[in-house]
Amino acid sequence: MSWHPQYRSSKFRHVYGKAASKDKCYDCVPITRNVHDNYFCAVNPSFIAVVTECMSGGAFLVIPIKQTGKLDPHYPKVCGHKGSVLDIKWNPFNDFVIASCSEDATVKIWDIPNQLLKRSITTPKKELLGHARRVGLIEWHPTADNILFSSGYDYKVMIWNLDVKDTVLSNPVKILDTHKDVVLSMSFNTDGSLLATACRDRKIRVIDPRAGTVLQEGSYKSHRVNKVLFLGNMKMLLSTGTSCWNNRQIALWDQNDLSVPLLEEDLDGSSGLLFPIYDSDTHMLYVVGKGDGNIRYYEISPEKPYLNYLMEYRSHLPQKGIGIMPKRGLDVAACEIFRFYKLIPTKSLIEPISMIVPRRSESYQEDIYPLTAAAQPALTAQEWLNGINKEPLLVSLRPGSEAVTSLPQFPEPEPFMEATDLSQQQGGGERMPLEDKQKPKEIKDGRKRLKAEEKLPKNQQMCLSNGFDIFECPPPKTENELLRMFYRQQEEIHRLRELINQRDVQIKQLELELRNLCTDTGNY
């Protein structure tokens, strides 16, 4: 019986890692030697923050992203903790706000000035006092503004609302007291309605953070979990850990059934921790090994075999931690789909590593850059605490594009809509985004607007587009003018395609609303 290899086509099959040249690295950076299992680095398009060594207390550096090369040994620090800093995270909706947690059992929020730091920052914007022991993890909510989660060695996960004027907060809005040991990892699903945690008691839990209830709990005897990660909207979890033979291992789980993993795969016999990083836009999984220089990357599919190995970036320089640049900070002209910032304490170096899709064309590659999460919140803190869920706002990475919503935005639902949503959650039915539960009045208003647009003269609807008049524009006389007109027409075609897609989404929404109304009528 002959064996036939299975070939699968993928646009990311030839992705390769490219380390930055020496002049584009950050040199002479005193990287922390703390043995805590965290990234120790946070990046956004404006700054790179890294936990550093400090004579007393804890501190971290905030360096402008474009200030590469050797760092001044007297460069100012952000120092205000009395113990070592264990984790730092940038606010996803504000590039000038960063949170830090420490062994001194506090969480601090810092304002970073727009200009270059001239002296150390010692006074935080806010201080969160609630944990009894050191705080090891912090996570910002992915869609709600000013909601922060913190996890400490007191086995508690606390939810903080930073939309208050007080500078010192001692009462979190919610305490999740469902763990019996230290929480090693936290991860949100796409809209932030669920929280997955990995605990030192070897259990993975899926928690409803607002209700404080454990929806799923599971462990597997041959998999000792360290880190856990939601895989976007695939309704799957990925965990990294060790097998019963102490091999480094990754496991894939169904988020609705944690009794047995869908897939287990041993990687190697090294002892360092594995950091899983998932890109929901490209469905690529990156596995970064602590203490070695390798970055493995895979493509995730919703069906078997689930995990498709692509390639491995190799380096002889071991990494202690890693930073990840948000998608809006990537170089789309170079077909860069991901960027890591590798912490190399042996050389006091931070080395950027770009993951690149090889393409010959120099134009914008729309197929590898789908709409991605924007730097704007979809909800206020109070709306999320009241039980509302929304998908993140989306933005195109095409230069000059503006943020758009993943679904058309409608006025906020009234109290009876919230009650309907809660009843569906209690009934155990499939949860739908609140944007899908549009009120009949809003549907009528939308139809009226569409009819009003249809009544407009055709020339008023179609003449102006992207700032120029298609019909009254004089015909091109030179080759340059002809090229200019051609590119404008290409942009117009792209804009019209996006309009058609948005109309399709509106149609689907109306269909969902009609189905919901029919279901509600049938129930009553």
Residues recorded for the chain: 524
CATH number of 180-314: 2.130.10.10
What is the model's pLDDT at position 244?
87
Render 80-99 in DSSP notation, one character per residue.
Answer: EESS-EEEEEE-TT-TTEEE
Give yes or no for residue 206 having a pLDDT over 50: yes
Render 173-225 in DSSP notation, one character per residue.
Answer: SEEE---SS-EEEEEE-TTSS-EEEEETTS-EEEEETTTTEEEEEE-BTTBEE
The residue with greater pLDDT, 505 or 164, is: 164
Percentage above 90 pLDDT, the chain: 65
The predicted model gives 219-231 an average pLDDT of: 92
What is the model's pLDDT at position 240?
96
Give yes or no for residue 508 having a pLDDT over 50: yes
- pLDDT band per the 50, 70, 90 thresholds, residue 491: confident
What is the model's pLDDT at position 287?
96
The predicted model gives 337-344 an average pLDDT of: 96
Mark 284-312 as b/e (b = at least 16 C-beta within 10 Å): bbbbbbbebbbbbbbbbeeeeebbbebbe
| 510, amino acid identity | L
| Residue 488 dihedral angles phi and psi, to the nearest 5° | -65, -40
- The Cα 128–Cα 121 span in angstroms is 17
Of 103-107, 205-209, 421-425, 449-453, where does mean pLDDT reach its minimum?
421-425
Give yes or no for residue 459 having a pLDDT over 60: no
CATH number of 19-177+323-341+360-400: 2.130.10.10
Q: Classify burial at 41, counting beta carbons within 10 Å of its beta carbon; exposed 0-12, middle 13-18, buried 19 or more.
A: buried
Token pair belonging to 178: 């469902």
Whether residue 388 contacts residue 434, with contact meaning beta carbons closer than 8 Å, is answered with yes
| Residue 107 dihedral angles phi and psi, to the nearest 5° | -120, 135
The residue with greater pLDDT, 55 or 249, is: 249
Give yes or no for residue 320 having a pLDDT over 50: yes
What is the model's pLDDT at position 473?
55
- pLDDT band per the 50, 70, 90 thresholds, residue 480: low
Averaging pLDDT over each range in 3-7, 271-275, 518-522, which range is the top one?
Answer: 271-275
What is the model's pLDDT at position 8?
66
What is the model's pLDDT at position 504?
86
Model confidence over 242-265: pLDDT tens digits? 998 889 999 999 999 999 999 999
| Residue 213 dihedral angles phi and psi, to the nearest 5° | -105, 150
The predicted model gives 155-172 an average pLDDT of: 95
- pLDDT band per the 50, 70, 90 thresholds, residue 99: very high
Give yes or no for residue 442 having a pLDDT over 60: no
Token pair belonging to 170: 């001692």
Token pair belonging to 177: 């007291």
What is the model's pLDDT at position 406?
38
- pLDDT band per the 50, 70, 90 thresholds, residue 211: very high
Model confidence over 7-17: pLDDT tens digits? 567 889 999 99
What is the model's pLDDT at position 407?
41
The residue with greater pLDDT, 468 or 511, is: 511
- pLDDT band per the 50, 70, 90 thresholds, residue 4: very low
Give yes or no for residue 523 having a pLDDT over 80: no
Of 165-169, 266-270, 295-299, 480-484, where does mean pLDDT reach its minimum?
480-484
Residue 184, C-beta contacts closer than 8 angstroms, at least 6 positions apart: 37, 198, 199, 200, 225, 226, 227
Give yes or no for residue 428 having a pLDDT over 70: no
What is the model's pLDDT at position 522?
67
Averaged pLDDT of the chain? 84
Whether residue 394 contacts residue 374, with contact meaning beta carbons closer than 8 Å, is answered with yes
| 458, amino acid identity | K
- pLDDT band per the 50, 70, 90 thresholds, residue 143: very high
Give yes or no for residue 425 having a pLDDT over 50: no
Each domain of the chain, given as residue ranges in start order, spans: 19-177+323-341+360-400, 180-314
Percentage above 70 pLDDT, the chain: 83
- pLDDT band per the 50, 70, 90 thresholds, residue 328: very high
Residue 479, C-beta contacts closer than 8 angstroms, at least 6 positions apart: none
Whether residue 298 contacts residue 311, with contact meaning beta carbons closer than 8 Å, is answered with no
What is the model's pLDDT at position 444?
47
- The Cα 424–Cα 420 span in angstroms is 6
Total Cβ atoms within 10 A of residue 243: 17
What is the model's pLDDT at position 474?
62
Q: What is the rounded end-to-end Cα distance, in angstroms, of the chain? A: 61
The residue with greater pLDDT, 448 or 242, is: 242
Give yes or no for residue 5 having a pLDDT over 50: no
Model confidence over 262-307: pLDDT tens digits? 999 999 888 889 999 999 999 999 999 998 899 999 999 988 889 9
The predicted model gives 411-418 an average pLDDT of: 38
Say which residue the tokens 């009794």 belong to.
Answer: 259
Give yes or no for residue 62 having a pLDDT over 50: yes
What is the model's pLDDT at position 114?
87
What is the model's pLDDT at position 7?
53
What is the model's pLDDT at position 219?
86
User: pTM of the predicted model, to two decimals?
Assistant: 0.76
Give yes or no for residue 423 having a pLDDT over 60: no
